[in-house]
């Protein structure tokens, strides 16, 4: 996930690192992926499928809404990070999540289910109220997903920070 600043000062988020993309026609067993984004079934080496991408998208959504990943480990200890992922140890700490809707938190929780059978599918993500705007409060109803990300993105104390002109762009080559 990279932030690209345009000449006009607006910024775009670029999603990359699709070097391991493949067609899935059965369980995969290769242990691969970026540690912060890797799904528990990859770590456990039990075989995995398409829902590892839902997990990674859940991690990305979490980061976009608060500014840090849901599974952080301690220092450079990858084993602690993997243990947190395997147990689904995540939370929505205050004050970073205070102004994020319950609907967004629910979506992330369903995308980061350790049990693959309970984890949302891509269709369920697309049908979720936070994504498709069903049942949103009046003040959030006109916001697109990108607008919601912009609204909730943790910009810290600097004005004109990363939230300016946020657009999410999936790309295979930067």
Listed by start position, the domains of the chain span: 2-170
State which CATH number among 1.10.510.10, 2.30.110.10, 3.40.50.300, 3.30.465.10 fits the domain covering 2-170: 1.10.510.10
The pLDDT value recorded for residue 133 is: 72
Render pLDDT for 145-162 as a digit per residue (tens, 0 to 9). Answer: 556 555 555 444 443 333
Residue 87's pLDDT band, with cuts at 50, 70 and 90, is very high
The pLDDT value recorded for residue 148 is: 55
Q: What is the pTM of this model?
A: 0.74
The pLDDT value recorded for residue 166 is: 36
pLDDT tops 50 at residue 164:
no
The pLDDT value recorded for residue 151 is: 57
Q: Kindly tell me the number of DSSP H helices and DSSP E strands found in the chain.
A: 7, 3
**CB atoms < 10 A from the CB of 93, how many?**
10
Residue 19's pLDDT band, with cuts at 50, 70 and 90, is low
Tokens of 29: 């067993």
Q: In what order do the strands lie in the sheet with 168-170?
A: 2-5, 11-15, 168-170
The pLDDT value recorded for residue 158 is: 40
The per-residue DSSP string of 35-94 comes to GGG--HHHHTTS-B-THHHHHHHHHHHHHHHHSS-S---BTTBHHHHHHHHHHT-----T
pLDDT tops 90 at residue 169:
no
Range in 21-25, 129-133, 165-169 the model is least confident about: 165-169
- Separation of alpha carbons 25 and 30, rounded Å: 14
Render pLDDT for 37-81 as a digit per residue (tens, 0 to 9). Answer: 999 999 999 999 999 999 999 999 999 899 899 998 777 789 999
Render pLDDT for 119-146 as a digit per residue (tens, 0 to 9). Answer: 999 999 999 999 987 655 555 544 555 5
pLDDT tops 70 at residue 117:
yes
What's the CA dihedral at 111, 150, 171, 116 to 10 degrees? 0
The pLDDT value recorded for residue 149 is: 58
**CB atoms < 10 A from the CB of 146, how many?**
16
């Amino acid at each position: 996930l990279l932030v690209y600043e345009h000449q006009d000062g607006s910024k775009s988020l670029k999603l990359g690192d699709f070097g391991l993309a493949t067609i899935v026609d059965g369980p995969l067993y290769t242990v691969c992926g970026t540690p912060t984004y890797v799904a528990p079934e990859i770590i456990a080496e039990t075989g995995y499928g398409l829902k590892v991408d839902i997990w990674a998208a859940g991690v990305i959504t979490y980061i976009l809404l608060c500014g840090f990943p849901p599974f952080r480990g301690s220092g450079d200890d990858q084993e602690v990070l993997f243990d947190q992922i395997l147990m689904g140890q995540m939370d929505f700490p205050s004050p970073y999540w205070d102004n994020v809707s319950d609907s967004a938190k629910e979506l992330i929780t369903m995308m980061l289910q350790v049990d693959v059978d309970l984890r949302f599918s891509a269709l369920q993500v697309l049908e979720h109220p936070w994504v498709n705007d069903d049942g949103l409060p009046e003040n959030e109803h006109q916001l697109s997903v990108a607008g919601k990300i912009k609204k909730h993105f943790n910009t810290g104390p600097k004005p004109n920070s990363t939230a300016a002109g946020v657009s999410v762009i999936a790309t295979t080559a930067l």
